[in-house]
Structure 1
Amino acid sequence: MKSNFRNIFVLLLISKLLFSQSEFNVHLYNPDKILDREEISKLLPVERELIQSEILARYGYIFEDSLLQRYFLKQIWYDANTKEFPVLSQIDSINFYLLEEFNQKNERTVWENVKRFRPVLDDVQKSYFSYCFENSNYKSIAKRKFKLKPFNYC
C-alpha cells in the first residue's frame, strides 16, 4: 500500500514537471524543415515575426524589443549571448529570408492598398460633406472664411 502511494506520488510529480516544462518550452518553428510559400501565406503576420525571432533566439540573439526578450527569457532552451546578427544554418537562413521576403511583400501590398483606398475615401468624404452642406441651414457659415485669434493663458 505504501509503495503504491509512493509510485502514484512520483508519477504525479513527474507529470507536473513535464507539464510545467511544456508551458515554457514552446516551439513554433521546426529547424529541420524548409517552409514553403503556401505555409507562410497561411500564417498571421504576428506568427511570421515570432518564427523569425525564434530562429534568431536559437542562436542566442538578444532582442532590443523588450516584449520579445521577455518572451524568450521564459523559454527553457533560450540562452541569450549576442546582440549581433548570428550566422544561421542553411535551413534557418532559407526560412528566415523567405519569411522576411513575404513580410516585405505583404507590407508593400498593404501600403499599395492604402494608397489606392485614399482617393476613394476622399471622394466619399467630399460627397458626404457636400451633401450635408447642401441640405444644411449652415451653408452660408461653412463658406465664410474665419481666423482664430491667438490667446495667452498666462
Structure 2
Amino acid sequence: MLIPILNQVLGVPVIEANSEGEPPPGSFITFKSLQPMGRALGQPIETLSVDRRKIVQQDIVMTMTFTMYGEDKGECIELAVKAAECLQTDGYRALKDAGIVLVELGEMTANDLKLGDTWERRTLFDADFRMTHTMTAKTAIETIETADVKGVFLHVRH
C-alpha cells in the first residue's frame, strides 16, 4: 500500500533493497525492513474467541530504511525530503487506513559510495511504523464447563 503511493507521488521506481536484477536507470528508492517482526510495545492483550481459540494482540514497532539514489547529492536530498513528506501526508492517510501509523522519521544521512572512479550518490533515513500484530491459536483451548465437587461443605450464615 505504501510503495505504490511513493511510486505515484515521487515519480521514481521504489524497489526492495538487495532484490534480484539490475537497479533501474536514473533515480530510484530502495526500502528494507530492519527486523522481520518488529519490536513489541507494552503488554499484549489476550482474549478468547467464540470457538475458544486464544487471540493475542500486541502493538509492535517496525523500522524501515529508505535509501534514495540519484545522479548527484542535490537530487538525492530532494528525493529524500519528498519521500519523508509523502510519509507524513499522502502516505500517512493510506497507512493509517490500513492500521499502520508513522511514529518517527529518523535523520537524513548522506551515504555516498565510491565505486572505482565514480560516486554512487545516496541519502537515507529510517522510519518507525506502529501496528497491531494479531496472533490466533490454531487449536481451541480445553475448558471445564462443569465440575463435580464431592465432599465439600458449604456453610452459609444468615
TM-score normalized by the length of structure 1: 0.23
What is the TM-score with the length of structure 2 in the denominator?
0.23
Structure with max Cα Rg: 1
More strand by share: 2
- By relative contact order (CA 8 Å, sep 6+), the higher-ranking structure is 2
Higher percent of residues as helix: 1
